[in-house]
A = this chain, B = another copy of it.
């Protein structure tokens, strides 16, 4: 069964995304059933993210694989973007900030860890190999975001004069982060010799360009609505379930909002496409840290409660060590199974700690 060039799985996902969006809408407007609405919205977001993912791939077939990769992670972060915006407008600053952080942790620790375990398991000598360049670029970009977060955090802890100008300093920092991201992106797209496996895919466009663009537009609108309903259901739902705001943002929203990248990266590593797998995870991490986060900081200037780079000491510590650990594991272009498992353990420790917050 094929329709407009979409294959069976894609059509099923599309139908599912539509049904789930509808179900979330009904539960939202019916009211009262918060937990059900929250769970339905979570799954709907993952399904929409999947649609965005293959629609972008189709659009991207017009361009090279490097452009597609970047386009995919940018549009794949759409639900993320909407959730944080609606959370901010609903005054849920903790959920907004922890879901950004959670996306970084989930990608950089949990998913990278699983990807390495899969890649190492399938390699002959138990060591996954990949180009180190992108891994090191991501480390540099992540360290840049860490720098402003640490400095603002320390200034906030000390309570010095600069701490009264956190919004201004965050805004200036956001502009600087974005400028570095674009300089990097320009160099990456220009010089991109993308990993060998990616270039091999040179077939005729499967899905028509107009259909792909239509799907993207529809997904965008659906993502916006579902995110709104998700944020509405979230507050009462987690209160009833007895889950803390921090755990919700850091674990549940982070995993649901990035579900597609997560599955994609692990499957690619399992198939031996190590460079592509690492590229999906790493691009996602750097994009959230030095593109999505600063964009949201700037956007929040128009809200009542601004989003800044200031966060709690535990999150700052976790972020610094995540940046260092991820760099340490991937800098040599080699990773053994225990290194992947070590990253998963780091994520689990963090999740356990946040559970008790």
Contacts and interface: CB of A to CB of B under 8 A. Distances in A.
Nearest to A312: B158
A177 B345 contact: yes
A143 B323 CA distance: 11
Place the interface of chain A in its size category: 35 or more
A151 B345 contact: no
Given A126-B187, A325-B143, A327-B328, A180 B136 contact: no
Contact of A172 (B141, B332, B349): B349
Given A139-B328, A146-B321, A158-B312, A338 B187 contact: yes
A227 to B, nearest CB: 28
Contact of A345 (B144, B152, B190, B332): B144
Interface string A89-116: 0000000000000000000000000000
Interface in A302-357: 312-314, 316-318, 320-321, 324-325, 327-329, 332, 336-339, 341-342, 345-346, 348-350, 352-354, 356-357
Nearest to A171: B352
Contact of A356 (B153, B162, B339): B162
What copy number does this chain have within its complex?
3
A291 to B, nearest CB: 13
A316 to B, nearest CB: 8
A301 interface: no
A16 interface: no
A337 B155 contact: no
A140 B329 contact: yes
Interface in A136-173: 136-137, 139-141, 143-144, 146-148, 150-155, 157-158, 160-162, 164-165, 168-169, 172-173
Contacts of A155: 314, 353
Contact of A337 (B139, B168, B187, B317): B187
A141 B342 contact: yes
Contacts of A169: 349, 352-353, 356
A167 to B, nearest CB: 11
A193 to B, nearest CB: 10
Contacts of A125: 191
Given A148-B349, A151-B349, A158-B312, 13 more contacts: A125-B191, A140-B329, A140-B338, A144-B345, A151-B314, A151-B317, A151-B353, A162-B353, A168-B356, A176-B348, A180-B341, A184-B342, A320-B321
